[in-house]
Amino acid sequence: MINLPNTDLTVHPLCLGGNVFGWSAPKPQSFNVLNHYFDGGGNFIDTADLYSEWAEGNSGGESETIIGEWMKSKNNRAQMVIGTKVSKLSTRKGLSKQNILLACEDSLRRLQTDYIDIYYSHEDDPTVPMEETLLAYQELISAGKVRYIAASQHTAARLATALEISKTSNLPSYIALQDHYNLVHREPFESEQAAVLKKHNLSMIPFFGLATGFLTGKYRPGQLVESVRAKSVEKYQNEKGWKIVAAVDQIANARNTTMSAIALAWLRAHPQVSAPIASARTVAQLTEIMPVVELSGAEITRLNAVSA
């Protein structure tokens, strides 16, 4: 277990992604994954009001609803650390104060809880003054409905501005950043966002830690993969991508672990990363992402070189 910087939250080193719940993982399947994650010591789940509005017949909130029903069935809310997000659901767009307050009530109802551990601004909203957004969060924190706030998909400059406003106006401050980072997608995190996080002692909670499945080992040169995400990994299927896959594969074999575990271990090795997010729609997939491995300096150097 690890402590998230700037919080009193103690979490599992793998944050379980809830984006598949109610989408590629129906409710019974989702419950199975959640049970095995919890039984394996997991306590950190990431979701959003948006998940999974994009699926046919869905309207958003499906993931939160499943997680809420699961926690009720286990009576384990107090043992879990739940992060959810606001601003991208089509019916609850943006970071205005009114929208945040309404969206939070929606999320609390679906999650069947009276508080959210980490509430994220799911994406930046330049149309709303940051002071207004932070004042909304202050109201929610004061009411005990939110414990901490965090940012998602904010540029380094906008994140720095938000942190400065929090400091000068004595408003709640983001405790982490959630953004796209993995072995095949290292920028702009390394060159821009990481420095802001280091300066303010914030952590990165990266999503797409396995590059939408590309780093799990199921994608190989010349092989056709049947997956709802197959189209989104085509951009990685080039000479550099296959070299990264080969290096991860070799280290995994030498360590007698999974490629997913190695790819996630590389993320954790970055001093600004706390707990990477990875999702699993089946228990078999979960067993691939759960192992927590600590890479050697030589292994990190090798992966850095092949993915540079």
Rounded to whole angstroms, how far apart are CA atoms 163 and 232? 33
| CATH code, domain carrying 201 | 3.20.20.100
Domain-embedded: residue 238: no
What are the tens digits of pLDDT across the range 260-293? 999 999 999 999 999 999 999 999 999 999 999 9
Q: Residue 40's closest CA among 16, 23, 19?
A: 16
For residue 110, what are the domain limits? 2-212+259-294
Domain-embedded: residue 281: yes
Where are the extended beta strands (E) located within the chain?
2-3, 10-11, 15-17, 44-46, 81-86, 116-121, 146-152, 174-178, 203-204, 277-279
Considering its fold, how many domains does the chain have in total?
1
What are the tens digits of pLDDT across the range 107-161? 999 999 999 999 999 999 999 999 999 999 999 999 999 999 999 999 999 999 9
Domain-embedded: residue 37: yes
| Percent over 90 (pLDDT), the chain | 94
- Tell me which amino acid residue 50 is: L
Active site residues: 51
Domain-embedded: residue 173: yes
Domain-embedded: residue 154: yes
| pTM of the complete model | 0.97
Split at pLDDT 50, 70, 90, the class of 229 is low
Domain-embedded: residue 305: no
Omega before 206 cis (within 30°)?
no
Domain-embedded: residue 43: yes
Domain-embedded: residue 228: no
Query: Residue 238, Cα to own-chain centre: how many angstroms?
Result: 26
Which residues make Cβ contacts (< 8 Å) with residue 46, sequence separation at least 6? 15, 16, 17, 18, 83, 84, 178, 205, 207, 277
Split at pLDDT 50, 70, 90, the class of 228 is low
